[in-house]
Structure 1
């Protein structure tokens, strides 16, 4: 049978006009979603005459396989000018797709998700991100559709009580699986009429029911593999074989064989596909592993070649169903740290947590005239002529001996234990940054000290300017107005401001603050 003629191919993939978003979401107005062959190094059966293709359902605007069912179900469920709320029990992809499609295609802005209280925080936040109202239910994370105690039937009852509420009910709605007869199956057949094997996971069983039913009609020779989760295991989306039994879709007639797959293999293959450029979630790795298992059994039995078509090649398609980002934590939990490159300087994830701004790191010749009253340029001024302006304070973080040898007039010595004339920059040595930030946080955790500085503009000076830059970040995070001197004391010396002349070092007049402990800084 020849593949169907698919009109409106929109080969340039451009969507115009006031209904551009509707066209963008409509598969009839799009090119087919990509079908990508796995390279040889990802296909362990390549030299057995097997070619494997990923159907990238993730490339729909809603980024998941459930977009097709959501489109088809809402098209027949929403009543114009009457429906104003959509309610669906869904762990994520279906109801997120519904929320976008309801807005774009039907102008319905209120979509509500019913789901398990065992749903991950990442998924909950993702649904909030897409504007979904969420109601959680206890009990099994994947309740049986007919269980009156679960959220599936609760959503159904609410819709029955109001004409303005629609519950598409993906678990019982034939428009779920028929969407893949309408769109997904014809796309695959048009793209790869040579197809010999089709593999898809089984959650609501809609995807496999639709695809299996379609190919049984157009090309009965195609071997149809349904993939379930291994008993006692969990992969987001698919169900175990036991949980499929109460599903009313005609899935048994749509599959030729069932494979059970565990979460470790699913996440491992998904991770590998992502790193090779096919970005997809764990259920995609799950489908591929199911395909691998069937091919391996055939190879062991000596019947693998029986799957091949007239060209002597076995062409296999598996579905990539969703994206990995909402499952990132699960990848690390399932696979362990050895699967991931290390983070160097990981200790910095817990320190130096506040904002920086280039505007807070000031050149000495720009900032000192704002802090001190100077009759002429600072480099030409005698220290006796320089006085601190009102509402300003200068903090010097250097060692007491260095502070006593020379410092800016009326500055306050706040020596840090982890700062010295030969200490490495905190930005070149992570251990220095960690130690200095922890010390600064401890010092300025003192609410009395912060409140005393609160009414002043604070200028921070150190040896090379880098520690003062860190201190400025901490002070700004505490709500203080603070800046640092770029280059610190070394820059002051270059400008001639930090020269240790007798006129400076023996100066007797003017208020010069003594070295003080961090718990008793004299600010007044």
Structure 2
């Protein structure tokens, strides 16, 4: 039955030979003109969304004559099955030059689709999401990403539509109190399920007239109600399978069978069989589909698992062949509803680490957290004249004749003994425990990088950073790599720091510092060295 008791056939012509709008398909999939985005979002201007048969290795019932197809609702521009209801509901509820705001209680896909479609199709910029305070942080950020104004509500994450305490009725009340606010209300709006009579059902039937089984999840029940109603009209032999969440479990989107009780859509007349599916199977199958190239979220794996369960029961009962068509095969379609990215954390929570390849050098996720810039790693002959102001090239000037420019500092990270033997003038020695002349590069050994980064974070404490604040700092080490890490740490603290590429080994190659070790008398005469304790360092 349709709205107001009318038959579906009175609202939409569902006869198989009806010359529907799909006859005008945009075969080249190109959208021109000032209304190109409107055409892009309009299913009547697009080729049908893909219908993809699962290969044999993903179909455990292939040799039983079962063929399984994924209807990729993810390929709509809004990337989810809720785009069809959003289009249909907004088309009939938004009033031009009057509607300024859309409000919907939704955990993600519906209201995100509405926000895009409201802008593209109707020029409405303000879409507001009412949703549960139990919504994941990833989903909240995704909605913020799409520009949604978010209001959270406590209580059940899937409130009953008629519960006056929940967000569904709050959204409804706000729309009733203001003429410029529209609440499409996916839970009570017949345009929700009728969108699948208008678009999704005809697409599937035109793509696969041999269809014998149709499978979709039950959330608002709009998808299954629309598809089940459509196929009851055009091909009554199709078995219509609705999938609900197993009691006490949770999969994003669908509801448990108990929560279907208050849903007012005519879903009972649109469904022949109900299967209940748990989250572990849903996430596992979704992960498998994604890795095989059918990128889809957990509710897609949920639908496929429901189909597997029904086929398995039929096979055990010896009635599987009753579903087959004239060709002897059973052609089954399940819906892939949305993408997996917003649920990534839940995949790891539900499935555990064994399903995922390990991360090598995972310890590096907690260290070396600041950015690098190749401009901060400088050649000695470029940066040292800036610091010392040599009248001639640095390689030709004895170090004893060089003095440090004001507002510049040179920090030497080598061991104290190596620093005492030879160093740049007026440099400050901050010897690292984790870095020696034979220590591997921190970029070749993650344990070295971890140790050096932690030590550098400790060395460059607030007092030292405060002393360096107005200075240009040049950092040197044995081979340049440790100084590169130090520069990253200093730059993160807003210090203008550079490292010497290649470190002291590069200086030796350039011939810098070959005037030999400094004598005791020279040390007294020229204050060119400072060795300090890391714990007590100050640059006053």
Q: Give, in whole Å, the separation in 2 of the partners of 1:408 and 1:293.
A: 75
1:517 aligns with 2:522: no
Q: Give, in whole Å, the separation in 1 of the partners of 2:59 and 2:521.
A: 81
1:483 aligns with 2:490: no
Contact 1:361 / 1:469 at 8 angstroms: preserved in 2?
yes
Report Cα offsets for 1:394-423 as digits up to 9, x if no partner.
Answer: 000000100010000111111011110000
Q: Give, in whole Å, the separation in 1 of the partners of 2:176 and 2:518.
A: 91
- In the TM superposition, what is the alpha-carbon distance from 1:498 to its structure 2 partner? 3.2
Secondary structure at the counterpart of residue 264 of structure 1: helix
Q: Give, in whole Å, the separation in 2 of the partners of 1:437 and 1:398.
A: 15
**TM-score normalised by structure 1 residue count:** 0.98
Number of equivalenced pairs: 523
Q: Give, in whole Å, the separation in 2 of the partners of 1:181 and 1:55.
A: 15
Contact 2:464 / 2:538 at 8 angstroms: preserved in 1?
no
Report Cα offsets for 1:277-323 as digits up to 9, x if no partner.
Answer: 00000000000000000000010011111111111111100000000
Going from structure 1 to structure 2, the CA distance change for 1:279 and 1:199 (only over 3 Å counts) comes to same
Quote the residue 2:165 is aligned against: 149
- In the TM superposition, what is the alpha-carbon distance from 1:383 to its structure 2 partner? 1.4
Of residues 73, 89, 101 in structure 1, which corresponds to 2:89? Answer: 73
**Any unmatched runs of 5+ in structure 2?**
1-14
Quote the residue 1:293 is aligned against: 309
Secondary structure at the counterpart of residue 386 of structure 2: helix
Contact 1:406 / 1:504 at 8 angstroms: preserved in 2?
no
Contact 2:414 / 2:431 at 8 angstroms: preserved in 1?
yes
Quote the residue 1:345 is aligned against: 361
Secondary structure at the counterpart of residue 527 of structure 2: coil
- In the TM superposition, what is the alpha-carbon distance from 1:149 to its structure 2 partner? 1.3
1:366 aligns with 2:404: no
1:86 aligns with 2:102: yes
Quote the residue 1:495 is aligned against: 510
- In the TM superposition, what is the alpha-carbon distance from 1:502 to its structure 2 partner? 5.2
- In the TM superposition, what is the alpha-carbon distance from 1:341 to its structure 2 partner? 0.5
Contact 1:461 / 1:468 at 8 angstroms: preserved in 2?
yes
Of residues 401, 404, 409 in structure 1, which corresponds to 2:417? Answer: 401
- Runs of 4+ in structure 1 over 3 Å off: 1-5, 502-509, 519-522
Going from structure 1 to structure 2, the CA distance change for 1:376 and 1:504 (only over 3 Å counts) comes to farther
Once the two structures are overlaid, the 10-residue window that deviates more, 375-384 or 130-139, is 375-384
- In the TM superposition, what is the alpha-carbon distance from 1:384 to its structure 2 partner? 1.8
Quote the residue 2:72 is aligned against: 56
Of residues 440, 449, 456 in structure 1, which corresponds to 2:471? Answer: 456
Quote the residue 1:410 is aligned against: 426
Q: Give, in whole Å, the separation in 2 of the partners of 1:473 and 1:4.
A: 67
Of residues 446, 460, 467 in structure 1, which corresponds to 2:482? Answer: 467
Of residues 158, 164, 175 in structure 1, which corresponds to 2:191? Answer: 175
Once the two structures are overlaid, the 10-residue window that deviates more, 463-472 or 375-384, is 375-384
Report Cα offsets for 1:339-375 as digits up to 9, x if no partner.
Answer: 1000111111010000100000000111111111212
- In the TM superposition, what is the alpha-carbon distance from 1:136 to its structure 2 partner? 1.0
Quote the residue 1:213 is aligned against: 229
Going from structure 1 to structure 2, the CA distance change for 1:306 and 1:450 (only over 3 Å counts) comes to same
Q: Give, in whole Å, the separation in 1 of the partners of 2:424 and 2:277.
A: 71
**Any unmatched runs of 5+ in structure 1?**
none
Contact 1:440 / 1:471 at 8 angstroms: preserved in 2?
yes
Contact 1:4 / 1:186 at 8 angstroms: preserved in 2?
no
- In the TM superposition, what is the alpha-carbon distance from 1:455 to its structure 2 partner? 1.1
Going from structure 1 to structure 2, the CA distance change for 1:320 and 1:221 (only over 3 Å counts) comes to same
Going from structure 1 to structure 2, the CA distance change for 1:522 and 1:71 (only over 3 Å counts) comes to closer
Q: Give, in whole Å, the separation in 1 of the partners of 2:263 and 2:223.
A: 13
